[in-house]
């Protein structure tokens, strides 16, 4: 029998994912600011691209939170 769909903590988990991703993003930005001149250009580009993917992931997490809030409102009505 499949597990029931328990969405009670989805928003909390998504907020934690946003927090962790933002933390990683800021650490990478700080690292680049301090060490980009010492790195080869390929590594700088790769890290910058990874940060762009992190920004898109954060946007996606926020959209999922909006969806969860909307779904919760629908369930209450």
Q: What is the tens place of the pLDDT at every residue in 36-52?
A: 999 999 999 999 999 99
Contact (CB, 8 A) for 15 and 66: no
Domain count, the chain: 1
Percent of the chain residues topping a pLDDT of 90: 79
Cα separation of 29 and 50, whole Å? 11
pLDDT of residue 5: 66
In a domain, 9, yes or no: no
Return the residue matching tokens 């809030």: 69
pLDDT at 2: 67
pLDDT given at position 74: 85
Provide the pLDDT for residue 75. 82
Is 31 within a domain? yes
The answer to whether residue 7 sits within a structural domain is no
Residue 8 lies in a domain: no
| 43 occurs within a structural domain | yes
Is pLDDT at 3 greater than 70 in this prediction?
Answer: no
Domain that holds residue 31: 14-76
Q: What distance in Å separates the CA atoms of residue 54 and residue 49, rounded to the nearest whole number?
A: 9
Confirm whether 5 is domain-assigned.
no
In a domain, 70, yes or no: yes
Instruction: At 43, list the tokens.
Output: 């590594």
| Cβ partners under 8 Å of residue 31, min gap 6 | 47
């Amino acid at each position: 029998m499949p597990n029931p769909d328990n969405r009670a903590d989805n928003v909390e988990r998504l907020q934690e994912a946003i927090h962790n991703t933002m933390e990683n993003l800021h650490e990478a930005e700080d690292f680049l600011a301090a060490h980009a001149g010492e790195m080869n250009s390929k590594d700088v580009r790769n890290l910058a691209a990874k940060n762009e993917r992190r920004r898109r992931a954060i946007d996606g997490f926020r959209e999922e939170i909006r969806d969860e809030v909307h779904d919760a409102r629908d369930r209450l009505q």
